[in-house]
Amino acid sequence: MIVNCANYFAEHGHEVCIILMKREGEYHELLHTAVRVIYFESLNKIRLYRSLRSILEKEKFDLLFSATPDLNTLTLLYKIFSRTKTKIVISEHNNTRVFFKHMKLSLSKLSFLSIPILYRFADAIVAVSKGLGDNLRKVALLGNDKITVIFNPAYSALLEEQLSLPVTHEWFGPQAIPVIISVGRLTEAKNHQLLIEAMHLLSKKRTARLLIIGEGHLREALQQQIDHLGLSHLIQLPGFKLNPVSWIREADLFVLSSDYEGFGVVLVEALAAGTTIVSTDCNYGPAEILDGACGYLVPVGDAPALAAQMDFAIDHPISRSSQVARAKEFSTESIMRKYNQLFTDLIEK
């Protein structure tokens, strides 16, 4: 989302900087050449605020857009304790309450308690789905006028280019065995354990193969589960892929097994690929994106229901044209016009 946002404003003649905490990441090569990247001087918890303050005082941005919970609170503290003219816009991309609940006890987790106090100092707050906006209003004790819902800009020219990229894998090609794919970090929130269990149940009825694209700290545990269930010939973990949509395009079915989401950009990517979707009806995003007709929803955490719906979906694919049309409703151009209007209105106040 940040890459799409930065590239859009750079392409439209604005000076754009991205502030990163670490000098690493797979998406640098996707940034527009006009986008500057600035790094925190220190990641030490005590020096973090000082590092951000140093950047903001030097750059004197017209507007700062923060997209992570930790930085949301940090930027708002800066706004309170300085006389900055920089407009502060924060955004929420995760189920705020659940996100902090699953964090280890730390300064970051304790910052959750400050949300009702700090968030009201933001010049604007963006939630990436309606459900997430409703949840945030309750958590932050804010009125309806404080939060703007703007979906993630997920369909772009870059995505269209990635759709045409070739993919080589032994399971892709003209064959009778359906290939199911899932894309996401190998973390608890994505609940790939549930998907693997569903595949175990499905394998008792029909033969299908599963690719789980992504990396994360649960890789070893997931591989152990696969081996324990005797599914190593049917399930593979190919790792992180910079262009996952080209992999999704080759599959017969895309599955999202998450316990919770903030939006679910990967669902828009699957729609753009024209690959039939089965998703858990988690908070928040999938129901809004699929809109009742562009994919199948199942209860969260229900492996038998997920297996049954996967079995049904393989035999009952959804119209490719209707999926692609829905994906285009989340185009970068239309979504970013909303951000542009919001940012312009704030700067001109």
pLDDT given for residue 171 in this prediction: 96
Among all chains, which residue has been given the structure tokens 């005797």? 230
pLDDT (mean) for 140-147: 86
The distance from CA 200 to its chain's CA centroid, rounded to whole angstroms, is 27
The predicted pLDDT at position 114 comes to 83
Q: Is 223 exposed, middle or buried (0-12, 13-18, 19+ CB in 10 A)?
A: middle
For residue 256, the tally of other CB atoms under 10 A from its CB is 27
| Pick from 32-36, 42-46, 89-93, 343-347: least confident | 42-46
In the structure encoding, which two tokens stand for residue 267, read together? Answer: 């669902």
At 231, list the tokens: 């599914």
Give the CATH class of 2-153+331-348.
alpha beta
SS3 content of the chain, % helix, strand, coil (to 5): 50, 15, 35
Report the C-alpha dihedral over residues 64, 65, 68, 71, rounded to 10 degrees. Answer: 10
Residue appearing with tokens 């992570």: 68
pLDDT of 164 strictly over 70: yes
- What is the predicted pLDDT for the residue at 55? 92
Range 218-237 average pLDDT? 98
Neighbouring residues of 51: CB distance < 8 A, sequence distance ≥ 6: 40, 41, 42
Residue with token string 């285009």: 328
Percent over 90 (pLDDT), the chain: 68
DSSP reduced 3-state for 258: coil
pLDDT at residue number 107: 54
**Domains 2-153+331-348 and 157-328 equal at CATH topology level:** yes
- Domain residues of the chain, as ranges? 2-153+331-348, 157-328
Whether pLDDT at 172 is above 60:
yes
User: For 89-157, what is the HEC assignment?
Assistant: EEEECCCHHHHHHCCCCCHHHHHHHHHHHHHHHCCEEEECCHHHHHHHHHHHCCCHHHEEECCCCCECH
> Which H or E run contains 348?
helix 332-348
Local structure of 15: helix, strand or coil: coil
147 Ramachandran zone, left/alpha/beta (phi>0; psi -120 to 50): beta
Question: Is residue 235 a contact partner of residue 212, using CB atoms and an 8 Å limit?
Answer: yes
Q: Structurally, what CATH architecture does the domain formed by 157-328 represent?
A: 3-Layer(aba) Sandwich (3.40)
DSSP state of 331: B
Residue 139, pLDDT > 80, answer yes
> What's the gap between Cα 255 and its chain centre?
15
Higher pLDDT, 110 or 32: 32
Determine what percent of the chain is predicted with pLDDT higher than 70.
94
Kindly state the tokens that stand for 238: 């190919």
Tell me what the mean pLDDT of segment 118-126 comes to. Answer: 94
pLDDT band at 178 (very low <50, low <70, confident <90, very high): very high
User: Across all residues in the chain, what is the average pLDDT?
Assistant: 91
pLDDT for 103:
56
Span 69-85, pLDDT tens digits: 778 888 999 999 998 89
Collect all residues with Cβ–Cβ distance below 8 Å to 153 and sequence separation of at least 6: 1, 4, 5, 8, 330, 331, 332, 335, 336, 339
pLDDT of residue 73: 87
CA–CA dist 114, 129 (Å, integer): 22
Rounded Cα distance, 79 and 118, in Å = 10
pLDDT in tens, 24-59: 766 778 888 999 999 988 777 678 888 888 999 999
Please state whether the predicted TM-score (pTM) of the whole model is above 0.95: no
Please answer whether residues 28 and 6 qualify as being in contact, where contact means their C-beta atoms are separated by less than 8 angstroms.
Answer: no
Which of 50-59, 143-152, 254-263, 300-309 has the largest mean confidence? 300-309
**pLDDT per position as a tens digit, 274-307:** 999 999 999 889 999 999 899 999 999 999 999 9
Range with lowest mean pLDDT among 30-39, 88-97, 134-143, 162-171: 88-97
Average pLDDT over residues 206-231: 98
For 150-169, what is the mean pLDDT?
92
What would the two tokens of residue 266 be?
């990967």
Question: If pLDDT is split at 50, 70 and 90, which confidence band does 150 have?
Answer: very high
Q: Tell which wins on pLDDT, 234 or 8.
A: 234
On the question of pLDDT at 188 being above 70, the answer is yes
* Banded model confidence at residue 106, pLDDT cuts 50, 70, 90: low
